[in-house]
A = this chain, B = another copy of it.
Amino acid sequence: MKQSQLFTKTRREAPADETAKNAQLLARAGYIHKEMAGVYSYLPLGLRVIKKIEDIIREEMNAIGGIEMKTSIFQNKEVWEKSNRWDDGVVEIWFKTKLKNGGEVGLSFTNEEAYSNILKQYVNSYKDLPVFPYDFKEIFRNEARSKSGVIRGREFYWKALYSFAKDETEHNAFYEKAKVAYQNIFKRAGIGDLTYLTFASGGTFSKFSHEFQTLAEAGEDTIYVDEKKSVAVNKEVYNDEVIESLGLKKNDLVEKTAIEVGNIFTLGTKFSEPFDLKYKNEKGEDKLVFMGSYGIGLGRLMGTIIEVMSDDKGIIWPEAVAPFKFHIIEIPSEKPEVKKMAEKIYKKIGESNTLYDDRDLRAGEKFADADLLGMPYQIIVSEKNADFGKLELKNRKTGKTEMISEDEIGKFL
């Protein structure tokens, strides 16, 4: 798209009330608008990043048999009373509101109850299982403090998948596939090298849950990393017995701070019991469904990428999640050849792949904006370049530039 068509603008200074690097950079670059602490609107460039992340997650969930639906934000009191999670004394982070004709409703803070209640309508026989529904939706959590930018919101955009299996064996088979799918997501989003499968506290039905933790100074979690084995242990379960049971050695583990970018969890029959979610097996016996949960916050992933992939000039997007792969910087000139060349390249690369800075601004301002916005490749079209029939291609991450011909652009598409 042409930058002159984009209504957002960059700012030199971050808003005074933003302390998190991710929110400072996103606000300066015009990707987000802060509505209140922990609540952000995604402006056009920010939404493009969210959509790219959403597409990656959707592909990986569909590849392991996920089936997408769209559950409501409003939650029914009667449904949540079944699992004893309606009470504010049990769940502190509820947001609730009142219906005009009486009665309270909750705003979803998670999806186990809504999903169990829906599946209860449809699961009768072993033939109906397994099933792996998921959705993308807004989630609301009444956090007392919210200072981590888009990493910890009061309102945030989330993918949750729940697995409904006949038994633990069938569950485990899916759980292992989900682990791989999650690792694929973080690899594709550009933070695979920094993200560790991490053993964390489990529950009644499994000794551990699994978190995906990305090493970052801004992290709120402490983990112990075995780099060679590419696994980590969350501080909450870090003790000699656990280390040994995982076949790890204390000397190989290094303490790090990290951001939890996803987690997967064996729920067992914790929710199928209160919802009486049963199926008839091949012998006609009633059996409880065995469940698992698989969550990931899209804004949190976006914020984490920025925490680990930026420099003092701005954001450095990995290709797969960048709003645009290319940023064409036309250096204003009186020679019509410059604009002509820029327009030609823009047409060649395509408007969905490139942001084209066609604005009438000084070169220095344009370079600063491009570095702040963080597209992976900058293509600089100046008088000098037009004269020589060459383009200057700058890699935002390495800072390296090379001169290429128009035809060579094809290599990068």
Q: Which residues of B contact A73 (CB under 8 A)?
A: 73, 138, 140, 155
A67: contacting residue among B7, B121, B140, CB under 8 A: B7
**What are 18 A-B contacts with C-beta separation under 8 Å?**
A5-B67, A7-B133, A33-B71, A35-B72, A36-B74, A36-B105, A39-B72, A39-B74, A41-B69, A44-B68, A50-B70, A72-B155, A73-B140, A74-B154, A74-B155, A100-B142, A101-B144, A101-B145
9-residue interface stretch from A91-99, A167-175, A216-224, A251-259: A91-99
A42: contacting residue among B7, B35, B70, CB under 8 A: B70
- Decide yes or no: A143 and B100 within 8 Å by CB, A7-B133, A67-B7 being known contacts: yes
Q: In chain B, what residue has the closest Cβ to A128?
A: B7
Q: List residues of A (52-102) whose CB comes within 8 Å of B's CBs.
A: 65, 67-76, 79, 92-93, 95-101
A178 to chain B, nearest CB (A): 17
7 further A-B pairs in the complex, CB-CB below 8 A; given A6-B67, A39-B76: A9-B122, A30-B122, A35-B114, A41-B70, A46-B69, A74-B155, A138-B138
Q: List residues of A (96-123) whose CB comes within 8 Å of B's CBs.
A: 96-101, 105, 107, 114, 118-119, 121-123
Q: Would you give the 0/1 interface string for A28-40, flagging 1 where the beta carbon is closer than 8 Å to chain B? A: 0010010110011
Q: Is A43 an interface residue (CB 8 A)?
A: yes
Q: How far is the CA of A43 from the CA of B69 in the complex (A)?
A: 5
Q: Would you give the 0/1 interface string for A176-200, flagging 1 where the beta carbon is closer than 8 Å to chain B? A: 0000000000000000000000000
Q: Is A131 an interface residue (CB 8 A)?
A: yes
Q: Is A239 an interface residue (CB 8 A)?
A: no
Q: Is A309 an interface residue (CB 8 A)?
A: no
Q: Is A14 an interface residue (CB 8 A)?
A: no
Q: How far is the CA of A50 from the CA of B68 in the complex (A)?
A: 12
Q: Is A206 an interface residue (CB 8 A)?
A: no
Q: Which residues of B contact A8 (CB under 8 A)?
A: 122
Q: Is A243 an interface residue (CB 8 A)?
A: no
Q: How far is the CA of A345 from the CA of B263 in the complex (A)?
A: 40
Q: How far is the CA of A134 from the CA of B205 in the complex (A)?
A: 45
Q: How far is the CA of A8 from the CA of B243 in the complex (A)?
A: 44
Q: Is A386 an interface residue (CB 8 A)?
A: no
Q: How far is the CA of A156 from the CA of B347 in the complex (A)?
A: 39
CB pair A133–B41 under 8 Å, yes or no, is no
A47: contacting residue among B5, B68, B92, CB under 8 A: B68
